[in-house]
Chains A and B, each alone.
Chain A
Amino acid sequence: MLGLAIVALAAGCAPGVAAQASDARSPAVVRASRRAYDGAPPVIPHAPLGPDCTACHDETGVVLPELGFSPPSPHERTQGLSAASRCVQCHVYRETDGEFVASSFVGLRQDLRRGTRQHTWAPPVRPHGRFLRENCAACHTGPAAREEIRTTHPERVRCEQCHAAVEARGTFRR
């Protein structure tokens, strides 16, 4: 199944993937274009390749010759999700670029300000929620990671040991 699909892609039948390869937009803009809001499950940017998504989107990601890199699944430790789950329960393909009715919905934008550091040597705080994305490495390591968020130390696996979440603004007051 996958073999057939790759042949089809190589023949130019998968506009999603082709567009991905030549997209001049910044990675952050491409990322946003695939999500209704920051935290929404991204739509699938390529043509259907069969039901077994985790064959390519595994824990580390897979290099597919001539196609690029399929990023890892961030759901490594998500309760209730596994390779046995139905990914299309949440992630859907795009069959059209049109809209039924225009919408004024503006989703929550990703906070592109970098996580702040208390001082030069302090680890930056984590500026986003981790919800359903327990596998930090999915976005912060490997060829699919945007340069500005790529970690310099992928070998240290327990990220939250150093990178604290931001749960509230302001400072402590008695």
Chain B
Amino acid sequence: MDRRELLRNLSIATAGVAAFSCRDRAEAERLAADGALARGEGNPDVTWDKAPCRYCGTGCGVLVGVQDGKVVAAQGDPASPVNRGLLCVKGYHLPGFLYGEDRLLYPQRRGADGTLQRISWDEALDLIAEKFGDALRDHGPESVAVYGSGQWTVFDGYAALKWVKGGMRSNNLDPNARLCMASAVVGFMTQFGSDEPMGCYEDFEAGDDFVLWGNNMAEMHPVLFSRILEHKRQNPGVRIVDIATRQTPTTDYADLFVPVKPNGDLALANGILHVLVRDGMVDRSFVEENCVLRRGIEDLDAIGFGVGGEAGERYGFKDEPRESSWDELVEFLADYTPERVAELAGVPARQVEVLAELYGARDRGTVSLWCMGVNQHVRGTWMNNLITDLHLVTGKIGRPGNNPFSLTGQPSACGTAREVGTLAHRLPADLAVTVPEHRARAEEIWGLEPGTIDPKPGYHAVDMFRALSRGDVKAMWIQTTNPWVSMPNLARFERKPGDGSFVVVSDIYPTPTTDVADLVLPAAAWVEREGMFGNSERRTQHWNKMVEPPGEAREDAWQIVEVARRMGMGHLFPWEGDWHEAMYEEYRTFGLGIGKDLASYQELKETPGKLWPVVDGVETRYRYAAGYDPYVKKSKGVHFYKAKSYGERAAIWLRPWHPPAEVPDAEFPMWLSTGRILEHWHTGSMTRRVKELHQAAPEAYVELNRADAAELGIKDGDRVRVASRRGSIELPARVDGRGKPARGSVFVPFFDEHHLVNELTLDAMDNLSKEPDYKKAAVRVEPVGGKS
């Protein structure tokens, strides 16, 4: 049996049809037996191999078709339990993103005249080693920085982590994932002592009520949303609740739309808790057996938002947790009556009661889903805590169809940023640089002298760029991300190449970020190199190199390893030849035996991925749950065994409502929110080079509420100016487009480098995760004349 046959059999036997109804399962099995679901069937001249999708955190399995050394087609992988053969429009059009005519093909250094000049790889790597070496020698480890990505493969992230923390002895390593899911990380860590969700995508067929908190799932996680829609079609009692500041394509499918004001979600979650407690819809015995209560600093002035004054340069707010009690919770919640919540959140009081009934219904499974609306929030960690509180007080957690489920935006935000730990304070497998035993463990695995790793966390993403602007960071390497489009308040980070610092950018296409780089390196993309990603449901997925990269493009991890070797740090990467397996197996040792066990390299090569912890080859669909998680020795219920500091119980946090950092006023009277759309992924550097996607969504726009547009004399298609205290942009207006913002608010997608909405956003941050809030800024909108 060859590998492909093995995969096919495995998929049919174990994964393919796990959660369909009986009727559909029979049909799927019949089709599978017929060969209709066979992998890549149809054209014998095309070879097919599996890879996870390059884009969102859903992590759909893709069959990549290769002919004559080029990627020519893609199919959804029927063997992938994630998507079972379906993709979204971005996934189907993946092959095109590799072949834009302006691919970066060789290393280029910016000359004195400001243009990029081709140089050799040797020259480029020597130059990086020299610049980073100079900075270390003259200014110390605080002066070097690596800004990475939730799109880094596990290999890229691990190589960077080891080089920065174990080689350069700096902790200035942070990913763009800080901008998208750091609040979820801190949320899970503060409640369970371990990151990432306990459930898996099977929750989407097991639940009855799906509560979407600020989450336009129809566009952001389309394939997962289609699973919920299919489940609803087969089970008409299933309900979708859309809690949002704006109506989106998701709203069209919702049973209940709950309009909420910016930051009103904090009040709403507390209001739901209030009614649950008031009406006795809580599971006190679950709480007594499995939970502790905690409370932190709540004073608005003491916390701030990371803007203005000293906090506007380096924001290091730390919480001071203390023990709390159920009685204190009841007293705390007394303030959040449905009537007060109606005032603070703009949610009708009756809807607060309805949501409480839904969370409190013991006979219905409840899944809460969230992504950027909750995470990119000045109190994003608090919102994560509160959503999970709803599940803890009702005991609706760690069971199929009953879980708080945070979704990720990037393909390996979980696998690389969170699990490898490419964050300023982290090491692999939930270890932290601040904990002596954790540092010692890393030093032991890496064979380094005790005391090598610096105990002080480095710059988080926003502070890293502030430090670069100040001149405190002298050498910075940016890989697989486009911060000069995606950072908030872009004007703050304006840069002229040759300003005294040294910025290297590795990417596959020219972007506004390569435009300001001193050295540009061509990266191998997706299936042009071997890789691994980890998706939102803890699934690690491996893919093989399938085609040669164009020109002299090389994978990011190779670039880092080569520079480390030139800096005399070759002992960190002692492997000869192809080091992928050896590197991964070393990395994997961090999590073995502590509930973060990843599948072996060979297992991952042969399967459509596995959900960690993987013990004896068996994956874990539901963490902390008896009968599912091998670390739980109880015969029923849950055991939060990773939360050592809480006596292996989960923490219910008391978290109040706070206002946003900036609110509309007479000068800037409207709210601005930003985000993605279905066709484009992040800053559009890949998807805009795909003809079909560009032609579907060629330009950014500002969505307006119909009544606001009428009042401002703006019609659909008119050119308008949107201005904030930080900048202004001109772009076409959309009225009654795919999204409908609430009265007094507008929405602009961020994919378009010609209309940079981040010129307008504010660099205010979550107090605990330091994730910026891209969803709330005050703007003014005015017509400028002309049509688009």
Give residues in A with beta carbon < 8 Å to B.
36-41, 43, 51, 77-82, 84-86, 88-108, 111, 128-132, 134, 160, 165-169
Q: How far is the CA of A169 from the CA of B45 in the complex (A)?
A: 8
Establish whether residues A131 and B690, one from each chain, have CB atoms under 8 Å apart when the complex forms: no
Complex Cα gap A40–B92 (Å): 6
**Can you list 27 contacts pairing A with B, beta carbon distance less than 8 Å?**
A38-B43, A40-B74, A79-B27, A80-B85, A80-B226, A86-B229, A88-B89, A88-B678, A89-B222, A89-B678, A90-B86, A92-B89, A92-B678, A95-B696, A98-B695, A101-B689, A102-B101, A104-B99, A104-B100, A107-B73, A129-B42, A131-B41, A131-B42, A131-B75, A132-B85, A134-B31, A160-B36
If A80-B86, A168-B44 touch, whether A160 touches B72 (CB-CB below 8 Å) is: no
Task: Check if B87 sits within 8 Å of A90, measured CB to CB.
Answer: yes
Residues of chain B having any CB pair with chain A under 8 Å: 17, 20, 24, 27-28, 31, 34-38, 40-46, 65, 67, 70, 72-76, 84-89, 92-93, 95-96, 98-102, 218, 222-223, 225-227, 229-230, 232-233, 249, 252-253, 509, 678-679, 684, 688-698
Of A81, A101, A107, A160, the residue contacting B102 (CB under 8 A) is: A101
A168 proximity list for chain B (CB < 8 A): 44
Given A77-B31, A89-B88, answer yes or no on A111-B692 (Cβ-Cβ < 8 Å).
no
Question: Using Cβ atoms and an 8 Å threshold, which residues of chain A touch B88?
Answer: 89-90
Tell me the minimal C-beta distance from B31 to chain A in angstroms. Answer: 7
Asked if A165 contacts B35 (CB within 8 A), the reply is: yes
Whether A80 pairs with B43 at a CB distance below 8 angstroms is no
A36→B692 contact, CB < 8 A: yes
Rounded to whole angstroms, the CA-CA distance of A93 and B694 in the bound complex is 10
**What is the CB-to-nearest-CB distance from A71 to chain B, in angstroms, rounded to a whole number?**
19
Chain A residue with minimal CB distance to B72?
Answer: A108
A97's nearest neighbour on chain B, judged by CB, is B695
Q: Name the B residues within 8 Å of A38 (CB-CB).
A: 43, 73
A166 to B697 alpha-carbon distance, docked (Å)? 37
Complex formed: what's the CA distance from A40 to B24 in Å? 25
Tell me the smallest distance from the CB of B280 to a CB of chain A, in Å. 37
B42–A92 touching, CB < 8 Å = no
Whether B696 pairs with A92 at a CB distance below 8 angstroms is: yes
For the complex formed, measure the closest distance between the CB of B151 and the CB atoms of chain A, giving whole angstroms: 20
Contacts of A96 in B (CB 8 A): 694-695, 698
B213 to chain A, nearest CB (A): 20
Q: B28 — which chain A residues lie within 8 A by C-beta?
A: 79
| A128 vs chain B, min Cβ distance (A) | 5
Instruction: Point out the residue from A78, A91, A94 that lies within 8 Å of B89, measured CB to CB.
Output: A91
Complexed CA–CA distance, A166 and B92 (Å): 23
Residue in contact with B230 in the complex, picked from A84, A105, A166, CB distance below 8 Å: A84
B84 touches A79 (CB 8 A): yes
Residues of chain A lying within 8 A (CB to CB) of residue B101: 101-104
| Residue from B31, B73, B100, B232 whose CB has the most chain A CB atoms within 10 Å | B73
Closest to B509 in A: A101
| Cα-based distance from A128 to B65 in the complex (angstroms) | 14
Shortest C-beta distance, B11 to chain A (Å), equals: 13
Closest beta carbon of chain A to B753's beta carbon, Å = 10
Complexed CA–CA distance, A84 and B218 (Å): 13
Give the 6 A-B residue pairs with the shortest CB-CB distance, closest first. A129-B42, A105-B99, A92-B696, A108-B72, A108-B73, A100-B688
Q: Which residues of A contact B229 (CB under 8 A)?
A: 84-86
Q: Which chain A residues border B76 with CB–CB below 8 Å?
A: 132
Which residue of A84, A100, A105 is within 8 Å of B232 (Cβ)? A84
Name the A residues within 8 Å of B24 (CB-CB). Answer: 79
Smallest CB-CB separation from B223: which chain A residue?
A89
Q: Given A95-B695, A130-B41, output 11 extra A-B contacts at Cβ < 8 Å.
A: A36-B692, A39-B73, A39-B74, A40-B93, A81-B230, A84-B229, A96-B694, A100-B689, A107-B73, A111-B43, A129-B41
Query: Does A103 lie within 8 Å of B86, measured CB to CB?
Result: no
B696 touches A106 (CB 8 A): no
Q: Is the CB of B41 within 8 A of A86?
A: no
Alpha-carbon separation in the docked complex, A168 to B38 (Å):
13
CB pair B40 A129 closer than 8 Å: yes
Instruction: Give the distance to chain B from A33, nearest Cβ to Cβ, in Å.
Output: 11
Chain A residues near B75 (CB-CB < 8 A): 39, 129, 131
User: CA A107 – CA B72 in complex, angstroms?
Assistant: 5
- In the bound complex, how far is the Cα of B63 from the Cα of A39, in angstroms? 12
Q: How far is the CA of A80 from the CA of B67 in the complex (A)?
A: 29
* A107 to B227 Cα, complex, angstroms: 29
CB within 8 Å for A36 and B249 given contacts A103-B691, A129-B43, A167-B41: no
Q: Are B84 and A94 in contact (CB under 8 A)?
A: no
